[in-house]
Structure 1
């Protein structure tokens, strides 16, 4: 009976990952607040394809999709923490019987070590805050927002049942099954699938990952659902929007900058990084082509 349930779950996840309909034509919001709300709604639905289209202008999206297929970027996954490790992380989870290896490592390093985990969460929070404070690539608004997020996550890590071995035995197999069902494991799985197919397949995986985090007391969907988005300032083609929400019991009060491009509003910091990602490796490729005989 457990085997039948596992096979049934795998088939359902595979269908969700691979059999999704083609995305509907994208309609862009017409105000700064609506643009932010659209991205929040995309994340709440785990609609990564929709998010990718709403986050950047169409021409830039096409360049990013081409850069992905050429192995030069994994945008928008590059917006995630430790994005350079994501393919390896997914591959490790998707390995046959990976749950056994992961649970063995967990029992050796974390099971019952609540005090050590609490200390590690505090130390990691301090280290990450210092990194964000000194990282020149972040805008002042991003730096302030990330500082609040890091503090909330550090407090969550101090009290979450991360050392509960029984809980881990329930959660880990669910995540590894979802990873296998994406079909994106292997050293080059994401590039081979391409941007759109990869993001479609990752949707159900992130749903399962979010549910696992909820069981540990971290509910990102609740944070997004309760987010209050208001216009703080708008001057011509620039705008400043205020975000107020609660994550892991901690209030977050932050601002994001937006700019208008081709009549539509986009997050300035996200747009800046996306443009950089679209050019990643492009300059080197052009130089090599110019030197070729």
Structure 2
């Protein structure tokens, strides 16, 4: 997970025309108590359930401690501060944009000032594009479905699962009142509240954060995205609350589980493989991704960088963070 990705989402305080709405970020003032963290699971079902419970409340530090064997968890923490051979400095323009966005989101009366700017723009966009939004989203849906179908990194089962999610999100996105000024005002409010909570003034602060601090920032971002999506009718908590985990097969330290869940009223499912280490159960994909991230970090920089392998996580697992290596 790139460190900068969460915080640039703050700057994009009202992204209205994408399926995977990276809406404004917000730290809720009342968080449920996080579940107790244990390493791995006694059973495959418990391992998955605990992971989802930790993600639901935005406890990413606890998630990684639970999701990885102790040695891999310590490796992940150590890798966080390692310099990356493929790390590139921000351009002066990108840095200036970051600083400007954070200043606008944290200055006095930021909510009123930003909404004053957004209000006429929303009215203009509504007049120009209201009727075109469903068509545009339909185009995005077709592009996304084609990308999934042509992916060489997804199995056939994963392609079916991803396509099912796209087919549920697209009709929702086509009917969301993206240009509604009341909702936009709420979204701006959560963006401002989060920016103040994050207290980031420069992108250099992102690189200087240790693992624990970074996980706190990710938590703020994730909880804010949940609240912003809820403003537009998509409850992430409802998805988590609907999850049911069933073991399909378990033998010789390997297990296959089915994860049933409901997305916007539509029943969906995905499957996950788990492996047993020292009597505890862990996600096989998660361990593989963490090992690959560590190997890439230690590998000598090639003359020409090859693209990193894409994650093959299933749709519901997309809510889980990818191994956070430093950027």
TM-score range for the pair, normalised by the shorter chain length: 0.7 to 0.9
CA distance in 2, matches of 1:177, 1:132: 36
Matches within 5 A, 1:255-274: 255-274=271-290
Among candidates 111, 115, 127, match of residue 143 of structure 2: 127
After superposition, give the CA deviation of every residue in 1:124-180 in whole Å (9 maximum; x if it has no partner). Answer: 222122222222233444333322222222121111111213321221231232133
Kept after mapping to 2: 8 A contact 1:240/1:255: yes
For residue 74 of structure 2, the aligned residue among 62, 67, 82 is 62
Q: Which residue of 1 aligns with 2:192?
A: 176
- Answer whether contact 1:121 1:158 (CA < 8 A) is retained: yes
Higher relative contact order (CA 8 A, sep 6+): 2
What is the CA-CA distance between 1:106 and the residue it aligns to? 5.7
Report what 1:233 is aligned to: 249
Distance 1:220 1:149, change over 3 A: same
Unaligned residue ranges in structure 2 (runs of 5+): 1-25, 86-94, 304-327
What RMSD in Å do the two structures reach over aligned CA positions?
3.6
What is aligned with 2:42? Answer: 30
Question: In the alignment, is residue 279 of structure 1 matched against residue 295 of structure 2?
Answer: yes
Deviation at residue 89 of structure 1 after TM alignment: 10
Which of 139, 162, 179 is equivalent to 2:178? 162
1:195 is matched with 211
Name the structure where helix makes up a greater proportion of residues: 1
User: Conserved in 1, the CA contact under 8 Å of 2:40 and 2:69?
Assistant: no
Distance 1:245 1:267, change over 3 A: same
**TM-score under structure 1 normalisation?**
0.75
Give matches, 1:88-99, under 5 Å: 94-97=102-105
Per the normalisation by structure 2, the TM-score is 0.68
Deviation at 1:183, TM superposition (A): 2.9
- C-alpha separation between the residues in 1 aligned to 2:281 and 2:187? 39
Structure 1, unaligned stretches of length 5 or more?
A: 1-11, 18-22, 74-86, 288-293
